[in-house]
Amino acid sequence: MLKKRIAASLIVKDGIVVQSIGFKKFLPVGKPDIAIEFLNQWGIDEIILLDISATKNNLEPNYEMIKNAALKSHVPLTVGGGITNVDQMRELMHCGADKIALNHAALTNKDLISKAAHIFGDQCVVVSIDAVKEDGEYKVFDYINHKVLDIPVNKIAVEFQNLGAGEILINSVDRDGSYLGYDIDLINSVCNVVTVPVICCGGAKNAKDFIKVFNETNVSAASAANFFHFAEHSVNITKSIVKKDMDIRLETYADYSDSSYDENLRLNKKTDEVLENMLFIRIEKDII
């Protein structure tokens, strides 16, 4: 069985990584290449960089930003935002992107999915679906026009798969920035109808949410954005806790296996005696 993956979503607005809350409020975090450098050092499995302002402003992808991001990334890098044709996809791959994410373009030009899969292979094509729950049903959310479409999420996921999508990225608008945990019902509504890998995003607060979604759904990867940015070594700590329940990659020297955590799964301070002894321990520099 393939190991579950822990991914990081970087939401980029006007060239800056932002903290997104409900797809409405955006708080600045920092430069994409710096965020990527830290995530790599902390042992993330893959990075998903989504430029939410490019399509809205009728701009092409920011190729220079992707070049700089790719130089810092030593894990698979998925890039989305501003993509309308295969020539742009080809240029993004020349800049260092490993996979391409289509969102608004997948809704307005479905043939683009098939063209991309034919040229680059379906393993390079990720289709991102933003979802909201309305009247008890999960429907597609159009983030460009900020409105709910009368399109069931599970049905469009199957259609995208049949067109050639190699992965489905499902984003919960309702849970975005909420720290309420992943929407298990939404994720299962997609996982139960497609056979391609599914990545989920929206609502993660700590390692408990990753354990829950891995145990209760068939997602191949769980992604988080906001909470990875605001706690040092957040990826390592999350992985060390999740690894106790299931098989995941953990390739950093800092595995936190002998650490304790508070009720929110934040790292507790070690005793002064332990910290003093640690001064004499040789720690090799991580090579991810």
Region 74-87: mean pLDDT is: 96
Region 210-223: mean pLDDT is: 97
Q: Is 183 a catalytic residue?
A: no
Least confident of 169-178, 186-195, 214-223, 262-271: 262-271
Quote the DSSP letter at residue 248: B
Residue 54 burial (CB count, 10 A) = 23
User: Is the pLDDT assigned to residue 254 strictly greater than 80?
Assistant: no
Q: How many helices (H) and strands (E) does the chain have?
A: 11, 12
What is the model's pLDDT at position 255?
64
Ramachandran bin of 57, using left for φ above 0, alpha for ψ from -120 to 50, beta for the remaining angles: alpha
Q: Are 238 and 214 in contact (CB under 8 A)?
A: no
Closest CA to 225 of 191, 188, 199, 251: 199
Rounded to a whole number, what is the distance in angstroms from the first to the last CA of the chain?
23
Question: What pairing do the DSSP bridges indicate for beta strands 99-102 and 77-80?
Answer: parallel
User: Is the pLDDT assigned to residue 130 strictly greater than 60?
Assistant: yes
* Residue whose tokens read 């791959």: 93
Could you give the C-alpha distances from 191 to 124, 155, 158, 185, in angstroms and in order? Answer: 19, 12, 10, 10
- Catalytically annotated residue among 51, 130, 174, 183: 130
* Interatomic CA distance for residues 140 and 109, integer angstroms: 16
Quote the DSSP letter at residue 124: G
pLDDT band of 251, cuts 50, 70, 90: low
Quote the DSSP letter at residue 132: E
User: Is the pLDDT assigned to residue 258 strictly greater than 90?
Assistant: no
* Interatomic CA distance for residues 199 and 170, integer angstroms: 6
Give the model confidence (pLDDT) of 136-189 as tens digits: 999 999 999 999 999 999 999 999 999 999 999 999 999 999 999 999 999 999
Q: What are phi and psi of 104, to 5 degrees?
A: -65, -35
Q: Are 255 and 284 in contact (CB under 8 A)?
A: no
DSSP 40-83: HHTT-SEEEEEETTTTTTT----HHHHHHHHHH--S-EEEESS-
Q: Which residues pair with 78 in a beta bridge?
A: 48, 99
Instruction: Give the chain's mean pLDDT.
Output: 90
Q: Are 192 and 216 in contact (CB under 8 A)?
A: no
Rg (CA), the chain: 19
* Residue whose tokens read 């990584």: 17
Give the model confidence (pLDDT) of 4-60 as tens digits: 999 999 999 999 999 999 989 999 999 999 999 989 888 899 999 999 999 999 999
CA 167 to chain centre: 12
Residue 154 burial (CB count, 10 A) = 20
